[in-house]
Amino acid sequence: MTITNVPGVKVGHKQNELARTGCTVILTEDGATCGVDVRGSAPGTRETDLLDPVNLVEQVHAISLAGGSAYGLDAASGVMQFLEEKGVGMDVGVAKVPIVPSAILFDLAVGDANVRPDQQMGYEAAKVASHSPVKQGAFGAGCGATVGKVAGFEAASKGGLGSASVELDNGLVVGAIVAVNAVGDVCDSVTGEILAGARNLETGEFLNSAQMMRKQAEVDGIAGTNTTIGAVAVNAKLTKAEAKKIAQMTQNALGRTISPAHTMYDGDTIFALATGKEHASVDLIGQLATEVMEEAIQNAVGK
């Protein structure tokens, strides 16, 4: 099961496989309360300030996740265009303005750095969004994702896009979607086994990025060349403050499955969406969100 099992959530991908970049759109056309937590130190985001609980706007209509570094933020404009054509957005009297927060990851060094997600790609991803199970692996924002770059891009493994969800007997549904492009390794959250990461170029064996960092003074990279971005969604009623707290709790999943996580070279960003009217405690939703995000991260690298 994937995040599209959450009522009110659609997902669409568009990618350029030759250029190894793409975008993923999470549509909540009926509106969703949203919070965000930015934990990495090299983020690329758009419209995240309005998600602060002290600010006015209460609901969003989509989330855009894209490659292309800061250029990829332009994909959100295409999502806005699609929603505007459908009459979806915040009514400001003279127009309906779609609210589309966005986060990006760096994939320019993997394919063609001159091709990035743009307004047209964002529009096309939104156009094909559906309730179908989410395609996982080298799709959408995960098309050019890599993990384990402590030893440089040449030693990295493929990252990707993953999703997962859980449904309780009481009807509560929590889902996650994530594009994994971390500087660190992706590990099994239970056993600690490295699933994808930096490899020895001669033997093909995993190097263990955390241990490598003990032996070298600096990570082989520049700020902003990585980043894990994603979202969780629940069919519950939440305030913006509660959604923000769930986004914060969900970041624990990155700490459990990515080693190291939240580095100076990552822009790790998690959104939390509330689409329904079910009632559940923030602690329960946050725990479930963390669990499905762990699963989604592992699915992204093909576990």
Count of structural domains within the chain? 1
Taking residue 43's Cβ as centre, other Cβ atoms within 10 Å add up to 18
How far is Cα 64 from Cα 12, in angstroms, rounded to an integer?
10
Q: Using DSSP, how many helices (H) and how many strands (E) does the chain show?
A: 5, 16
Domain enclosing residue 83, as ranges: 3-300
pLDDT in tens, 265-299: 899 999 999 999 999 999 999 999 999 999 999 99
How far is Cα 225 from Cα 248, in angstroms, rounded to an integer?
23
Kind of pairing, strands 59-66 and 102-104? Answer: parallel
Q: Tokens 């080298």 belong to which residue?
A: 138
Q: What is the CATH number of the domain that holds 54?
A: 3.60.70.12
pLDDT in tens, 3-12: 999 999 999 9
pTM summary value: 0.96
pLDDT in tens, 17-41: 999 999 999 999 999 999 999 998 9
Which residues, 6 or more positions from 102, have their beta carbon under 8 angstroms from its beta carbon?
45, 46, 47, 63, 64, 65, 66, 73, 75, 76
The H or E element spanning position 257 is: helix 240-257
pLDDT of 221 higher than 60: no
Under 8 Å between Cβ of 282 and 245: yes
Residue 216: pLDDT band by 50, 70, 90 thresholds?
Answer: confident
The percentage of the chain sitting over the pLDDT mark of 90, rounded to a whole number, equals 90
How far is Cα 37 from Cα 280, in angstroms, rounded to an integer?
21
Q: Which segments within 129-257 are labelled E, that is strand?
A: 146-147, 157-158, 160-167, 173-180, 185-187, 194-196, 229-236
Residue 225's pLDDT is what?
Answer: 77
pLDDT in tens, 191-201: 999 999 999 99
